[in-house]
């Protein structure tokens, strides 16, 4: 029953912005660290951002820092990824990931395509 579901992907032009959302259900959302991963065809899955369960401590991959912002709303059971100044290399399937050291859950992924 536990799951995380992403939304907000789509086609955007280079330099544009997009906000991804992920909603958790079936588990105690506030007890899980939330992360965003991405994977492009032919490449390994890459963690792009994470946010702790409390105090909103964030980390970012070097490739996205300064452009992406991860945030969460525990009351709404959601985590977001605000993506600005998008580049073609950001094109990938983006996955939401919830983890607390005991269990973890992967989302189904949402496609982000950056192209003119």
- Residue 11 CB partners (closer than 8 Å, separation 6+): 113, 114, 115
Which DSSP state fits 14?
T
List strand residue ranges (DSSP E) for the chain, in order.
Answer: 3-7, 10-12, 18-25, 33-39, 46-51, 58-60, 68-73, 78-83, 92-99, 104-106, 110-114
Share of the chain above pLDDT 90, in %: 100
Query: pLDDT, tens digit, for every residue of 6-19?
Result: 999 999 999 999 99
Nearest-angstrom CA–CA distance, 86 and 66: 11
Do residues 22 and 79 touch, judged by C-beta distance below 8 A? Answer: yes
Query: pLDDT, tens digit, for every residue of 2-54?
Result: 999 999 999 999 999 999 999 999 999 999 999 999 999 999 999 999 999 99
Nearest-angstrom CA–CA distance, 2 and 24: 8
């Amino acid at each position: 029953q536990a799951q995380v579901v992403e939304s907000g992907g789509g086609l955007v032009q280079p330099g544009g912005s997009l906000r991804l959302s992920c909603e958790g259900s079936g588990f105690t959302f506030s007890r899980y660290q939330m992360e965003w991963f991405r994977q492009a065809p032919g490449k390994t899955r890459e963690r792009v951002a994470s946010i702790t369960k409390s105090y909103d401590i964030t980390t970012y991959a070097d490739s996205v820092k300064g452009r992406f912002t991860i945030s969460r709303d525990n009351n709404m059971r959601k985590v977001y990824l605000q993506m600005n100044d998008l580049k073609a290399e950001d094109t990938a399937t983006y996955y939401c990931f919830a983890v607390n050291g005991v269990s973890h859950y992967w989302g189904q992924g949402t496609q982000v395509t950056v192209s003119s």
